[in-house]
Every structure is written in C-alpha cells, then in structure tokens.
Amino acid sequence: MMQLPASLPNASSYLGPSSEGKELLPRAGFITLSIVMAMFTVPAIVLNSTVIVVSLMNKQLRQPLNYALVNMAVADLGTALTGGVLSVVNNALGYFSLGRTGCIIEGFSVALFGITSLCTVALIAIERMFVVSKPLGPISFQTKHAVGGVALSWVWSLIWNTPPLFGWGRYELEGVGTSCAPDWHNRDPNNVSYILCYFLLCFAVPFLIIVASYSKLIYTLRQVSAMGYIEGGAAAKAEAKVARMVVLMVVTFLVSWLPYATLALVVVSHPDAPISPLLGTVPVYLAKSSTVYNPLIYLYMNKQVYL
C-alpha cells in the first residue's frame, strides 16, 4: 500500500497523471471514480435546485422553520457544483487540472459549503427542539431566529475554513490527487493544531448538538404523550415520526461524515500509518454523498417531520 505524502506536492503534481512516472490508480480506476461521482453529483444538483426553486415559488414554504432547509440546499448545491463537478472532470482526466491556486480555491470552497451544510443539520435539530420543547418558555420561533441561525452556520464555517488561507493549516491534494481539502497529512505542529480544532469544532460539536437536541425533543414528546395532553394518540404518533427521523438523520450523518473525520484523526495521530490513496478517497466521496441524502430526508420527508 502507498503511504500518503506528508510533504507538499511539487508543481508536477498538478501537471498531469504521469508527470512523475507514477500512477496512483490505473486509468480504469479514475474513470470509475468519475462515474461514481457523476452518479452523486447530477442528482444532488437536480434535487437541491428543486428544493430551492420550490421553496421560493411556494409561499407556504417561505416560513422561518424552513429557512434552514433552503440554506442546506444552497450549501449542498454549492458543494455539488464545485467539489462534485470538479471531481467528475478531474477523475476523467486522471489528475487535478486546476493547478496549485485552483487547488486552494476548490479546497476552500468545498470545505466552506460542506461545513455550512453540516452545521445546518445541527441547526435544524436545534430549531425542531426549540419549537416542540420550548426551553425558553412561550417564546415563538420567529424570522429573526431563523435568519440568525442561517447566518451563524455560514459565519462559523467561514471562521474555521479561512485560517489555511493565512498560514494556519493549508489546503492540499487528497486521496488519489483529483480533489483538494484541508491537509490532514502534514505533521507540522501548526497544521496538526488546526486539524484538531477543525475536527472538534466542525465535526464533533455539530454531532453532539444533533444528539442532544433530538434527545430533548423525543423526551418532551414522551412526557406529553404520558400526560395525555394530546388526544387520539397524536403525541405517540409524533414521537414515532420524530424517532424515525432521528435514526435516519444520525445514521446518514455518521455514514457521510464519520469515515472522513476518522481518517483525519488517524492520519494526524498515526502519521506513519500505511493508507492507500484509494482508501483515502472513499471517505471524501461519502462526505460528498450527503448532498443527495439531505434534500431527500429534510424536504421530501417534510410532511413526516414537520411538527
């Protein structure tokens, strides 16, 4: 197995598939990856564009509780149009075709959209919990709350994806060398400190928020059901629907993001671990696959989860 490089690739890494006399994958392997990414990217563009257009055209959907859904669709569409389309093209070519500057731009853009989407998943969990559990008392969920949450998702993502542009961490080729991302492989203490902060604040924290928010929501529904506040078993039905939603959401979150986050931690904590380029690419594509899952779960199942 080929160990991922810990040093910065030289200029020839961006010039062509065989510029150094080495191939990370056979030609058929790159074509296969291109086809796989196309299978995710095309539906992601169609689904997320549909979410945005339908929400803008339907007045009933233009309510504060749906702002986060649209925000996630915008972020996922951005991921598909940048990381998805470029992955299809670059894998078809067999190398990253945009040069060092293009690598930085692509890495930053995909990371910005991706973390914004991930934070929006946590935001949706908080909003659902807020509406059902009312932890602040009889305060209604208003437009200012929705807009503030959406703005926070972008600001938070921007805060933690900007540092590599100014020297704390960096964006670099990943996997088989056809896409770029934060550099998980550099052993420099400066870079390692950034990656650890990035993992904690952009992966672990959103996941804990999701689990805590939906746990509180389900607990509230169980209390309501037990006290008989809602007749005809409506509370029990609502509880079951939310439970299904939570299971599906957590599973897709873990499938999409846990392999990527785990790979980053393994590379940082065990820099000498032999990880093949192909193995390093799989988690990247799983993370990008969330651009397809999200609109299916959060909009097309909206009648099930809307409370």
CATH number at residue 107: 1.20.1070.10
Rounded to the nearest 10 degrees, the angle between the axes of helix 143-161 and helix 64-79 is 30
The answer to the question of residue 51 being in a domain is: yes
C-alpha–C-alpha distance, residues 247 and 212, integer Å:
13
Q: What is the 3-state secondary structure (H, E, C) of the chain?
A: CCCCCCCCCCHHHHCCCCCCCCCCCCHHHHHHHHHHHHHHHHHHHHHHHHHHHHHHHCHHHCCHHHHHHHHHHHHHHHHHHHHHHHHHHHHHHCCCCCHHHHHHHHHHHHHHHHHHHHHHHHHHHHHHHHHHHCCCCCCCCCHHHHHHHHHHHHHHHHHHHCHHHHCCCCEEEECCCCEEEECCCCCCHHHHHHHHHHHHHHHHHHHHHHHHHHHHHHHHHHHHHHHCCCHHHHHHHHHHHHHHHHHHHHHHHHHHHHHHHHHHHHHHHCCCCCCCHHHHHHHHHHHHCHHHHHHHHHCCCHHHHCC
Number of domains the chain contains: 1
C-alpha–C-alpha distance, residues 18 and 30, integer Å:
13
Low-confidence ranges of the chain (pLDDT < 70): 1-23, 135-139, 224-246, 298-307
The answer to the question of residue 4 being in a domain is: no
The answer to the question of residue 19 being in a domain is: no
| Residue-level pLDDT at 227 | 64
| Segments forming the whole domain that contains residue 268 | 25-305
The answer to the question of residue 301 being in a domain is: yes
